[in-house]
Amino acid sequence: MQFHDSMISLVGNTPLVKLNHVTEGIQATVLAKVEYFNPGGSVKDRIALRMIEAAERSGELKPGGTIVEPTSGNTGVGLAIVAQQKGYKCIFVCPDKVSLDKINVLRAYGAEVVVCPTAVDPEHPDSYYNVSDRLVRETPNAWKPDQYSNPNNPRSHYETTGPELWEQTDGKITHFVAGVGTGGTISGTGNYLKEASGGAVKVIGADPEGSVYSGGSGRPYLVEGVGEDFWPSAYDRKVADGIVAVSDKDSFQMTRRLAKEEGLLVGGSCGMAVVAALEVARELGPDDVVVVLLPDSGRGYMSKIFSDEWMADYGFLEDTTSATVADVLR
C-alpha cells in the first residue's frame, strides 16, 4: 500500500514550474517554486514543522502545551496542522488587514484567533506582537515559536527549500528571488544556494514599496505577508545581493496575470516576487536560470485581488482596463 502517515509528511518537495507567458521577451529561463502544494497551502508549513520539532526536542514545548504566535495566517495554518496531529492547542494573533477567509481557515483547523489593529506601533499594547506576548504570559504551558527570531525558521529553508532547488535545477540555478517577510525564506534558501554554488548564485529580495527592506519607513501597503516596519533577526542582512521594491498595483496586476496566463492562482506576494524576478531576468541571457518562490495560493484573496470591485476601489485596475480596450481594437 502507498500512503503517507499523516499530512505532516507531505510538507516540502514542491514542484518547479516554468513561466511561459508573463516572461515574453525574456531570454533567461524563469522557474516558479510553487509552495501552495504544501499540505497547508503555503511555504510556512516548512518552518512550522521545523520549529515545533525543535521545541519538542529542547523541552520548550511540553505534551499538551499551547502554541501562541502572531501570524498573518500562513504560519498559523502550518502550525495548526502540525499541532493538531501532535496534540497541541493553538492561539493565533492576526492584524486586522488579514482577510476573513484566512482567519476562518485557521479556525477550521481548530485554532483560536485573536484579531488586532494594524494601524498601531509595534510598541503599542494592542499591537499584535504585544498581545501575543501577554497571551504567552497568561496561558499555562504556552510556547511562542516567534518566527521573526526563531533560528529554525531560516534553518528549515537551509535544510529543505535550498537543497530542493539545487537538485531540481541540477545546479544550474543562477538567481533566486523571494519576497521578504520574516526573512526566513530568503536567508535560509539564499545562504544554502550561495554555499552550494561557491557564491555564484545571486539572491534578490522583493519588498513592498514602503517597507524597511527597500529603504522605506514602514508606511502601510496592502500586499500581505511581506515587508516589515522593523528588522527581524530571522533575516540575514548579508544574504541579498539586491532588493527590488514593488508597488501594490504592480504586485496585484501580476498576481491576476499569473492566474489568467500561467494557470497559477497564487497570492499577492507571489505577484510581487514575480515582478521583481522579471525585472532581474530582463537583464540576463539564455543560460541564466532564475527561480522565484511563490509562497501561497490565491484562494485566500478572492474577495480582494481577484475582485474587480476591490481592485477598482484602489485604482489598481487602471492600466489593465486600457490594455483590454487596446486588445479589443487590435
User: Which among 8-16, 97-105, 175-183, 256-264 is the span making contact with ligand PMP, rule CB under 6 A?
Assistant: 175-183
| 225 near ligand PMP, rule: CB under 6 A | yes
Regarding 156 and contact with ligand PMP (CB under 6 A), the answer is no
Q: Is 169 in the site for ligand PMP (CB under 6 A)?
A: no
| Least Å from the CB of residue 63 to ligand PMP | 28
44 among known catalytic residues:
yes
**Stretch touching ligand PMP by CB under 6 A, among 9-17, 52-60, 213-221, 224-232:** 224-232
Partnered with residue 245 across adjacent β-strands are 207
Q: Using CB under 6 A, which of 183, 190, 210, 271 touches ligand PMP?
A: 183
Asked if 269 is part of the footprint of ligand PMP (rule: CB under 6 A), the reply reads yes
44 grid coordinates: 510556512
Find the part of the chain contacting ligand PMP (CB under 6 A) among 10-18, 117-125, 223-231, 318-326: 223-231
- If binding is defined by CB under 6 A, does position 226 make contact with ligand PMP? yes
Pick the piece of the chain touching ligand PMP (CB under 6 A) from 49-57, 179-187, 210-218, 282-290: 179-187
Q: Which is nearer to ligand PMP, 224 or 262 (CB)?
A: 224
**CB-CB contact of 241 with 204 (8 Å):** yes
Q: Is residue 78 involved in binding ligand PMP (CB under 6 A)?
A: no
Question: What is the smallest separation between the CB atom of 34 and ligand PMP, expressed in angstroms?
Answer: 13
Residue 145 binds to ligand PMP (criterion: CB under 6 A): no
What x-and-dash track marks residues 27-66 binding ligand PMP by CB under 6 A?
-----------------x----------------------
CB 183 within 8 A of CB 235: yes
Per CB under 6 A, the list member of 32, 180, 240, 311 interacting with ligand PMP is 180
Residues 270-329 contacting ligand PMP, CB under 6 A = 295-296
Q: Which of 185, 239, 243, 182 is nearest to 210 (CA)?
A: 243
Contact between 132 and ligand PMP per CB under 6 A: no
Question: Which of residues 173 and 226 has its CB atom nearest to ligand PMP in the complex?
Answer: 226
Q: Residue of minimal CB distance from ligand PMP?
A: 225
Q: Using alpha carbons, list the distances in angstroms from residue 44 to 125, 212, 242.
A: 27, 22, 23
Active-site residues, by number, are 44
